[in-house]
Amino acid sequence: MMLKVAVQMDPIETIKIQGDTTFALMLEGQARGHALSYYNPDTMAMRDGAVSALVAPVEVRDIEGDHYGLGDYERRSLSDFDAILMRQDPPFDMHYISATHLLEHIHPKTLVVNDPAHVRNAPEKLFVMNFPDLMPPTLVTRDRAEIEAFRAEFGDIVMKPLYGHGGGAVFRITREDLNFGSLYDLFAVTFREPWVVQRFLPEVKDGDKRILLIDGEFAGAVNRVPAENDLRSNMVRGGAARATDLSAREREICERIGPALRERGFLLVGIDVIGGNLTEINVTSPTGVRAVKKLGGPDAAALVWDRIEAIRKGK
């Protein structure tokens, strides 16, 4: 069956195709004969309850520097499409939240992946707190006294903004680190939201495992090893991708959270696990699909489209 699919994403000319999951999904959708269109969320509008955007037909090709071609833009009703891939990157700010409100008006008649209302209600670093027994000790607060008490208890901690992404503004603070006060002041004037404070996991030196789940089922994994002298393992921050298998603990984590993902309509999710500890559940624009396939793992893009097609067929 041919589906009319719109992809809501950041400027297509800026993506780095070798590691871009949105691009992998577009390549697979195109190979299956689906009609792809592209739009930027900045062009979305609602008039009298109808949601539209400036949309252009798009063709993609796996050629660095020549990876796409666009047709003419026109304002189209987004309810005309069979499916929409909501794939713009965070930050999870009011612009992002507003887009989820607009898309909620057309879902599920037009299938939005992932479900926009549940994405809005499940920020990655808060949704994960539904599973505290799977996590390292974690505090969410702006309160300095609470952070200092947590630091006194655990000594070696990590601080990061609640709505941060891609490894930005992630800091390790040791028990005797004299930079804590300055870092607290910097966070206080830079970020309006609370911060996530976690016990530092020394196992991060061996990698931060990105595990993909499709409709709540395991669909591949990649171990992201930090660059030398860096805490962060995100591949956009210099982390190296390594092939990996799941431990018994990691399979337990997948089995525990899978039903909650299915209930919320999260077709594609990326979770982060360090040393058997769940640290994040990424539902906004999860990545890792191309890296998993390149390292000999499952073709998660194909599995996503299998599920989208099944939903549209009513199965």
- Residues catalogued as catalytic: 125, 160, 210, 224, 232, 272, 280, 282
CA angle (211 as vertex; 28, 111 as ends), nearest 5: 45
Give the orientation angle of helix 300-312 with respect to helix 21-31, to 10 degrees: 60
Task: Identify the sign of the CA torsion 125, 194, 164, 267.
Answer: positive
DSSP collapsed to 3 states, 271-288: EEEECCEEEEEECCCCCC
The beta-strand segments (E) located in 99-207 are: 111-113, 138-141, 157-161, 171-173, 195-199
Which residues does 224 contact at the CB level (< 8 Å), separation at least 6?
A: 207, 208, 209, 210, 233, 234, 235, 239, 240, 241, 242
Q: Decide: 118 and 264 in contact? Cβ < 8 Å.
A: yes
C-alpha pair distances (Å), 249 with each of 84, 112, 133, 243, 255:
34, 32, 12, 18, 10
CA angle (208 as vertex; 151, 179 as ends), nearest 5: 30
Q: Which two structure tokens, joined as six digits, stand for 74?
A: 């026109």
Q: Decide: 112 and 86 in contact? Cβ < 8 Å.
A: yes
Q: Which two structure tokens, joined as six digits, stand for 266?
A: 């999260």
Consecutive H or E run containing 180 = helix 180-190
Q: Which two structure tokens, joined as six digits, stand for 9?
A: 């994403």
